[in-house]
Amino acid sequence: MMKSILKRGEDLQRLGQDLVLLFLRLLVGWQLILTGKGKLTHIDQFSTFFESLHIPAPTVHVVAIGLIEALGGFALLLGFFARGAALFISLAMIGAYLTAHRDEAFGSPGDFVDAAPFPYLTVALVVLVFGAGGISLDRARTSLLANKRQITQSATD
């Protein structure tokens, strides 16, 4: 009886974690898609901004960051290769802190948290560390691969 109660508690905890990860991925993934799309549809404006930050090859960087945000956001949204996407998003947001937000973000911890890259960086780091969760294409892909290995192993036995 006690084992059954503990098992149900663990299942509920896992479901809660999966739902929180899904919520974060959907929210931030969608926002990243929109910000990436904005950069890719206004390359000239963002190139001028990147140039004002003394970023070399500003147009190349605008396209690269726009693609990281748009495609990475889509990957987060679906939970597909989410850890890889989260790595690139994290690096892009660290770059944003060090360039576009360097003057405003490092005065105090509150300033760091209030800067625009903070929610994106935070969720990207959470997904990088914990993965996309159970409600994701990554989990489905992992389950399919495990089943395929099991079938292959059973056939060779």
pLDDT per residue as tens digits for the range 75-103? 999 999 999 999 999 999 999 999 999 98
Rounded Cα–Cα distance for residues 64 and 73 (Å):
14
The pTM assigned to this predicted structure is: 0.88
pLDDT of 153 over the 80 cut? no
How high is the pLDDT of residue 107?
87
Q: Would you say 128 and 94 are in contact if contact means Cβ atoms under 8 Å apart?
A: no
Confidence of residue 157 (pLDDT cuts 50, 70, 90): low
How high is the pLDDT of residue 45?
98
Could you give the C-alpha distances from 138 to 84, 97, 145, in angstroms and in order? 11, 29, 11
pLDDT of 21 over the 90 cut? yes
